[in-house]
Amino acid sequence: MEFSGTVLETGTDVSTVKEGDRVIGVSGFTGMAEECVIDQKALWQIPEGVPLREAASLPVSYGTAIMALEHRACTQPGETVLVTAAAGATGLAVIDVATHVLQAKVIAAAGSDEKCRLAVERGAQASVNYSQGSLRDAVTELVGSGGVNVAIDTVGGDIFLEALRSLAWEGRIVVVGFAGGNIASVSANLLLLKNISAMGVYWGRYRDQNFPVFSRSLSSALQYCQEGRIQPHIGVVFKLEEVNDAFLHVIQRKSTGKVLISLK
């Protein structure tokens, strides 16, 4: 759904990019090819100094992280952010943006000690291995009964509910996905008791519903990358002919950060 590359040629009515420009793009499922045809509105120019591989890691993961943290949760400097599936592409992007752009404190939650260590290396102040016990209890040990200000959840199910119960007064939880396979139901009294908010981020939907916000998330990601404020973590790069191995790598939960397909 996302790619980076160089413009080979343009149509007669194209004015925003030209042949030779380095760009990132957001497509349907046409990005995993040596060449693709795409509308100019779905392309953003890559600034000087940003490598193509780093740029390819930005659209979905960092677009989602920026949308969740800035646009939806309105995260403020000094607030505490809890992120689940913290070693995944989106999780690490949330850590990167929250820590290095928004100046928030991050608690990273993941399913193994190895993934927790990576999250801390990438900027989280603390980590929780939720395969070893209650996420809520571990968060309470770290921050006390007050809880966290923001939670970004990509797992769903029981992990989502524990993250919800870890929120502070007027805390905000953002639903990003359901990687665990289960979709939780929320009892409305949980929202009422601490005046908390539960909201969703379907980043791709903004492309149709509010394109300026969608575009701004990508422009911000490129700007942050050019300024050196964020640094995408590329876990592994596969060749195009190894695409099945790449999918297997993800399915078997071996991936950390972004998995890329290189066409060269």
Q: Which domains does the chain have, with CATH numbers?
A: 2-59+205-262 (3.90.180.10), 74-204 (3.40.50.720)
Task: Average the pLDDT over each of 83-97, 118-132, 204-218, 250-264 and give the range with the smallest value.
Answer: 250-264
Contacts of residue 237, Cβ cutoff 8 Å, sequence gap at least 6: 53, 259, 260, 261, 262
| pLDDT score for 253 | 86
Convert the pLDDT of each residue in 241-257 to its tens digit. Answer: 999 999 999 999 889 99
| pLDDT score for 31 | 86
| pLDDT score for 30 | 83
Convert the pLDDT of each residue in 167-182 to its tens digit. Answer: 999 999 999 999 989 9
The tokens for 262 are: 């290189």
Backbone angles phi, psi at 237, to 5 degrees: -120, 125
The pTM (predicted TM-score) of the whole model is: 0.95
| pLDDT score for 105 | 98
Convert the pLDDT of each residue in 119-155 to its tens digit. Answer: 999 999 999 999 999 999 999 999 999 999 999 999 9
| pLDDT score for 59 | 97
Indicate if the pLDDT at residue 64 is higher than 90: yes
Whether the CB-CB separation of 29 and 1 falls below 8 Å is answered with: yes
Going from the C-alpha of 233 to that of each of 89, 122, 130, 155, 260, the distances in angstroms are 8, 8, 22, 20, 11
Instruction: Determine which helix (DSSP H) or strand (DSSP E) holds 118, and give its type and residue range.
Output: helix 113-121
AA letter at 108: A
Q: How far apart are CA 41 and CA 116, in angstroms?
A: 38
| pLDDT (average), residues 65-82 | 98
Whether the CB-CB separation of 159 and 190 falls below 8 Å is answered with: no
